[in-house]
Structure 1
Amino acid sequence: MRRLAAVLSLAFLASCSSLPTPPPTVPPPPPLEVQILAINDFHGNLEPPGLAYEGSKGKVPVGGAAYLATALREVRTPASITVAAGDLISASPLVSSLYYDEPTVRALSDSGLALAAVGNHEFDRGPAELKRMQAGGCREKQARETRQSCALEAFTGAGFQYLAANVLEGSNNLFPSTAIRDIGGVRIGFIGMTLKETGTLVSPDGVKGLAFLDEAGTANALVPYLKQNGAKAIVLLIHQGGATDGKFDDPSCPGLSGDIMPILAKLDPAIDLVVSGHTHQAYICQRPPNNGARRLLTSAGRYGALVTDIRLSFAPDGTLIDQRAEFVPVQGEPIDNARVQAPLNPAYRVFAADPGVASLVQRYKAAASVIADRPVGKLSAPLEKGSISGESQASEFIADGQLFVARNPAKGAADFGFMNNGGARTDLIPGPDGTVTYGQIFALQPFANNLVTISLTGAQVKAVLEQQFDSGTNTVARPNLIMPSANVRFSFDKSRPAGQRIVSILLDGRPIDPTRTYRVTVNNFLASGGDGFTALAAGTNPVDGGLDLDATEAYLKSSPPVPQKGRVIDLTPAGWTPPAS
C-alpha cells in the first residue's frame, strides 16, 4: 500500500508538471499624448516688450520673438501642433507695424505656428489686407503713409492657416471654419473664430461687407462635421476671453469672469478644449462639468510672453481621457528689463535667442531705427495709458494734440476733441532728458487714423458720452471711457438710469448748450461709429485734419504740458455695484 501511494503521488506530480503555463500578464498600451502649444494677442511684439509676469515663483521678465521661437522648439514634442487665438498683428510696435506686420507673420511662421483664429485686430486694415497676410504679395504704397510693404524682402504670406468660422463675406466664409490634423496617431478637429462684436471694435470701413456670427451657435453647428470626419477631440480657438484675480499660474482661477463665460455655457459638450484670447489675461482653468463635459480653458496673456503647453491624453481607442496644461514663460537672455525692473528669475527656464528669428528682427529693427530714433519733442513726465474704464493721460494728451492741429480753420475749426481710450496702446515714457522719439509715439498710436472734425449739437455730444456706458460692448459694469481735450470736463454717475448718467459737460468752464452746434475732432475710427460710439456717425460737415500721428508730433514740438487728471469725474456713490447682466 505504501508503494502504491508513492507511485500515485509521483504520477500526480508528473501530471501537474504537464499543465500549460499561464501566459504572462500584458500591460495595457500607454495612453497616446498630443501636445498643443498655444499663444494669443502677439500684436507684432518682435522685440521684448518690457513685461514681467508675477507667478508663484516670483516675477519673470518675458517676451521677444526670437526667444519665443526657441521656447516653442525646445518644448515641442514629436506629437505636437502650435496654434494661436487671434490678434497676432496690428496695434503693433513700429518695427513690425512700419512694414504692415510682414516680419511678424514671417517670424511666427518660422517658429512653427500652424493654425490661427482671426481676432478683431486682424481686420484693422480691412479684409483685403488680411487676405494678403495669408496669401502673400506686396501692398501698393498708400498716399501719406510712412509704412512700407516688401521693403526688405518679398512677402510670401503666412506659413500658418487662418481660421474664421463666424466671419462671412457675403454668403461665404472669409477663411476656412475648421481644420483637421492627425497628430501622434490621433485626429484632432479645430474651430477658429473671432468675437461676434468685432464689427464694433474695428473701423466700419474695415469690416464693410462682413458679418460676424454668434460664437457658440457657429461652433456647435460645426461639431457634427468634425465628428463625421473622425475627430477624437475638438478644440475651439476663439478670440474672446476672461480674467481672474490670481497670478498667471494660479490653478484655482480665482474670480474667473468675462465674456467667454456665457459662450462656454452654451458650447456643445463635444468641444473639449477652449484656447482663448482678447483680454490679454493669462489663465489655465478647469471648468466644472457642463452637460457632462469637463473642459479646459486657457489664455496665454499677451505679446508672446507665455506659451501654454497643453497635453491631451487618449486611450488606445481614441477616447479622450485626460487634459492638462502649464505655462512656459518666455524668459530670454539677454533681455531689456529697464521698464519692468525684474532680473532674470532662476526659478524659470531661460531660453537663448533663435538665430534665424533674431536675425530677422535685427534686420527690420535696423531698417526702422532711422525713423524710430528720430526725436520729435520733449515731455516733462511720463504719460500713463491707464485702463479702458478709467482716466487716461495718454488719451488726453492725444486729444490735446488733435485739437492743437484742428483748431486751424483749414483743418476743421475745432472747438474741442475726443480720443478713445482703446486707441492709446502704451504708456509713453520719455528719455532721461525728456526726449520723445517717433518710435514711441508710433507705438502709442499705431493705427494710422486720420483726424476728422465734425459738427454735433450739444445734445448729440451728450448722447456720445452716454454711450460710454450703454452701447455695443460698453456697459456700466465695464465702461469704455472717451477722453476729452483740456478745455472740456465732464462728470458721470453710473448708478443713474440709462441716458441720464452724464451729470455735466463743461466747455471752457461753462455748460455746453444742447441746441448749439460744436465742431468736434476725433479720429476716423470714432467718426464712423467705432468702439460703440455710433452717435458720432451722425456728425455733419466733416473736414480731414491729416494723420493722427502727425498731429501728435506737431503738438510735441510746441513743448506741451503733461495732462493732469481731473477732466473726467466719477460721481458714482461709493459701494454702488452694477446690476447683474
Structure 2
Amino acid sequence: MRHSLCQILAAVLLAMVLASTSRASAQTAPVELRILAINDFHGYLQPPQGGIRIADPDDKSNRIAVAAGGAEHMATAVRQLRQNSKNNIFVAAGDLIGASPFLSAMFHDEPTIESLDMMGLAVASVGNHEFDEGKEELLRMQNGGCHAIDGCQGPHPFQGAKFRYLAASTFEKSTGKTLFPPYAIREFDGIPIAFIGLTLKGTPKLVAPTGVADLEFRDEADTVNALVPELKARGVEAIVVLIHEGGFPSGDYNECPDISGPIVDIVRKLDKAIDLVVSGHTHQAYICEIDGRLVTSADKYSTVVTAIDLKLDPATRDVISVRADNVIVRTEAFAKDPEQTALLEAYDRLAAPIASRPAGSITETLSRMPNEAGESVLGDIVADAQLAATRLEANGGAVIAFTNPGGVRGDIPKKESGMVTYADVFASQPFRNQLVTLTLTGMQIRNMLEQQWLDPKRPRILQVSKGFSYAWDGARPIGDRVAADSLTLNGQRIDPATGYRVTVNSFLAVGGDGFTVFMEGSAPLVGVYDVDALYLYFKANSPIAPATGNRIVRLN
C-alpha cells in the first residue's frame, strides 16, 4: 500500500517533534552527582583497634564495636560506592595525615598520601594535623621530594599528592596569598561545582607555633562568604564546603540529635548559596541539617565513607536536592583491595623490623581516658618516662615533667601475651617531639597550670610526673583555679621564687596548646624523642601496671 505525500510528511514531522521533545526532556532532567567524603584519616592504613562504636540494633541504649576501617577495605568501599554513578568525586575534610600509627608516621605519612591517590581522592581541605611538621613539610606532601631531615626512606621516590589540597582561609603573611588554592571547580555534564577547602581558625593553638609562624588562619564563615560573589561571577551556583571543624551530636552514626559545637554557628553564618557542608575534626559520625543545609561527618580513622547524592538543575545549574548516608567500612563486607595490600606490604617490609622490637609488657590496658580531675593512667606513665629520660642530665636534671593530653594519642592495649612492641609505644606517642628541659620558677609553674583553662569549653589538663601534685577548683574564676598552697614536689610545697628544672616536649616548649609560660623558661636543654623515652621506660620497668591517678585533685 502506497503512502500519500501528506502521510509521509506528517510521519516525518511527528518524528521530528518526538526527537525534539526527547532532547528537551534530557536537557531538563536533573544531573545526578555522587560525592564520597572522608575526614580525619590520620594515616590509619590498617584497621583501628576497636573499629567504630555504634548503637546496638537490639538495644539502642547500648553501643557495640564493629570491626571497620583500613586502607585496603576503604579502597574497595570507595570503588563500589562510585561504580554505578556516572558522575562522582571523592573528597576529604582534613587531617588525612598527622598523629598517625607507626606504618605511616615512620615514613612521614608518605604511604598515606600514596594510598589516597590510588583511591582517586580529588580534593581535600587542610586540617590542623597537616601542620604537625610545619608549613614546609605540608608543601612537600603536595609537591613531593625527600624529607628535609630523614631523607628518602620509602621503597620508591615520593612524588607528592595527585589530589589537590585546598586552604581558602590559610594565608601566608609574607605574600598575602593563600597557602593552597582556596577552591577547586569541577564540571559534571557541563554543570560546574565549586569545592571550598577550610582549615579551622584555631589551628595555631593546636600545632607548634614555629611551624605556622608565617601563616594567618582567618574566620571560616567570613572566608566562604567573601568567595561566593567570585564563584557566581564564574558561573558557579552549586557550592560545597569542605571544612576541618565539626560538632558533637548525641545520636548514632547516621543521626544528628542535639548537635553542638563550632560547626553550628559557622554554618548559620554561611551565605545561603552554600548547598552542602562536609565537616571533620571532632572525630564524630553524623548526618545533620543545620540552617537548611546538609552537614556531614565521617567519624575517623577510615571507618566510614559518607555517600552524598546531589541532583543538579541543568537550567539553573544549582542543587535541587541532597541526601547522604554514612557507610561503615566493615572489614567483613569490603574485601581487601590488592593494590592497597601491595603498597602496604612494600612499606611494611622496611618498617616491620623496627615496629616488632619488644619494648616490655603490661598487666592491663593502659588507658588515655582522663578521670574527673583530668588525669589518665597512660598520661601518668608518659610523664614518668619523660622525667626518667631527663632526670640525670649533666647540666641540671629535671625534677618535674609535664605532657599535653593531646600528645597521648591512643591506649596501649593489653594483648593476650601482655607484650608491648615499639609500634604499640609509637601509636601512643606518634609526633616524635624531642624533650626539652628548662627552668621555671614555682610562680611560673602555677601560672602555666592556669593556662589549662584558656579555652573553658575544652580545658587541656596536663599530665604530670610522679612526685608532683596539685589541686584545682572548677568553681573558681579562670585564672585562679589552682590552689597555690596545693602545689607540692615530693611532699614539699613548691616555692614561688625557687627555680625548678622541668621537662616538656618540644611542642609545649614553644607555646603549643596555648601554654606560653613555657617560652619564659631559661637554660633549655634538648633531649631524646618522646617516643624513645617511653620505649626505654618500658624496657626498664616492665611489667607495667595501671595505677590509680591521684596526682591531680579536683575540688569542685
Give TM-score scaled by structure 1 length: 0.86
Report if the CA contact (8 A) 2:268-2:290 is conserved. Answer: no
Aligned to 2:8: none
The answer to whether residue 363 in structure 2 is matched with residue 380 in structure 1 is: yes
| 3-state secondary structure, aligned to 1:74 | helix
Pick aligned residue for 2:93 from 64, 67, 85: 85
Report if the CA contact (8 A) 1:40-1:86 is conserved. Answer: yes
Aligned to 2:298: 300
Change (3 A) 1:387 1:88: farther
The answer to whether residue 69 in structure 2 is matched with residue 70 in structure 1 is: no
Question: Could you tell me how far 1:445 is from its partner in structure 2?
Answer: 0.8
Question: Could you tell me how far 1:255 is from its partner in structure 2?
Answer: 2.0
Question: Could you tell me how far 1:155 is from its partner in structure 2?
Answer: 0.8
The answer to whether residue 352 in structure 2 is matched with residue 369 in structure 1 is: yes
* Matching of residues 501-580 of structure 1 within 5 Å: 501-503=481-483, 504-559=486-541, 561=544, 562-572=546-556
CA displacement, residues 54-97 of structure 1 (integer Å, 9 cap, x when unaligned):
14646532101011111111111211111101010111111111
| 3-state secondary structure, aligned to 2:242 | strand
Aligned to 1:192: 197
Pick aligned residue for 1:354 from 298, 322, 337: 337
| Aligned partner letter, 2:304 | L
| 3-state secondary structure, aligned to 2:115 | helix
CA distance in 2, matches of 1:141, 1:433: 36
Aligned to 1:8: none
The answer to whether residue 238 in structure 2 is matched with residue 233 in structure 1 is: yes
The answer to whether residue 54 in structure 2 is matched with residue 54 in structure 1 is: yes
Pick aligned residue for 2:385 from 392, 401, 422: 401
Supply the RMSD in Å over aligned alpha carbons.
2.0
Aligned to 1:494: 474
The answer to whether residue 422 in structure 2 is matched with residue 438 in structure 1 is: yes
| 3-state secondary structure, aligned to 1:395 | helix
More helix by share: 2
Aligned to 1:11: none
| 3-state secondary structure, aligned to 1:377 | strand
Question: Could you tell me how far 1:379 is from its partner in structure 2?
Answer: 2.4
Change (3 A) 1:377 1:42: same
The answer to whether residue 191 in structure 2 is matched with residue 175 in structure 1 is: no
Work out which of the two has the higher radius of gyration on C-alpha atoms and give 1 or 2.
1
Pick aligned residue for 1:151 from 150, 154, 161: 154
Which shifted more, 230-239 or 46-55?
46-55
CA displacement, residues 446-471 of structure 1 (integer Å, 9 cap, x when unaligned):
1111111111111111111111112x
| 3-state secondary structure, aligned to 2:243 | strand
The answer to whether residue 347 in structure 2 is matched with residue 328 in structure 1 is: no
Question: Could you tell me how far 1:391 is from its partner in structure 2?
Answer: 2.0
Report if the CA contact (8 A) 2:438-2:521 is conserved. Answer: yes
| Aligned partner letter, 2:366 | L
Report if the CA contact (8 A) 1:388-1:480 is conserved. Answer: no
| 3-state secondary structure, aligned to 2:210 | helix
Question: Could you tell me how far 1:141 is from its partner in structure 2?
Answer: 3.8
| Aligned partner letter, 1:48 | P
| 3-state secondary structure, aligned to 2:325 | strand
Question: Could you tell me how far 1:492 is from its partner in structure 2?
Answer: 1.3
| Aligned partner letter, 1:157 | G
CA distance in 2, matches of 1:411, 1:67: 51
The answer to whether residue 278 in structure 2 is matched with residue 275 in structure 1 is: yes
CA distance in 1, matches of 2:90, 2:132: 24
Question: Could you tell me how far 1:411 is from its partner in structure 2?
Answer: 6.6
* Matching of residues 20-31 of structure 1 within 5 Å: 29-31=28-30
CA displacement, residues 176-217 of structure 1 (integer Å, 9 cap, x when unaligned):
011111024321011101111111111112112111111111
Report if the CA contact (8 A) 2:435-2:503 is conserved. Answer: yes
| Aligned partner letter, 1:417 | A
Give TM-score scaled by structure 2 length: 0.90
| Aligned partner letter, 1:450 | Q
Aligned to 1:426: 410
CA distance in 1, matches of 2:395, 2:309: 57
| 3-state secondary structure, aligned to 1:410 | coil
Report if the CA contact (8 A) 2:91-2:122 is conserved. Answer: yes
Equivalent pairs counted in the alignment come to 520
Instruction: Give unpaired runs (5+ residues) of structure 2.
Output: 1-12, 58-63
Report if the CA contact (8 A) 2:191-2:314 is conserved. Answer: no
Change (3 A) 1:79 1:388: farther
CA displacement, residues 301-339 of structure 1 (integer Å, 9 cap, x when unaligned):
101110011111122312322111001111123xxxxxx
Question: Could you tell me how far 1:388 is from its partner in structure 2?
Answer: 10
CA distance in 2, matches of 1:183, 1:512: 66
Instruction: Give unpaired runs (5+ residues) of structure 1.
Output: 1-19, 143-147, 289-293, 334-349, 573-581
Question: Could you tell me how far 1:136 is from its partner in structure 2?
Answer: 1.1
The answer to whether residue 268 in structure 2 is matched with residue 265 in structure 1 is: yes
Q: Runs (4+) of structure 1 moved beyond 6 Å?
A: 23-27
| 3-state secondary structure, aligned to 1:332 | coil
CA distance in 1, matches of 2:416, 2:260: 40
| Aligned partner letter, 2:433 | N
Report if the CA contact (8 A) 2:237-2:273 is conserved. Answer: no
**Identity rate of aligned residues, in percent?**
47
Aligned to 1:37: 36
Aligned to 1:217: 222
Which shifted more, 391-400 or 113-122?
391-400
CA displacement, residues 537-557 of structure 1 (integer Å, 9 cap, x when unaligned):
111111112211221122112
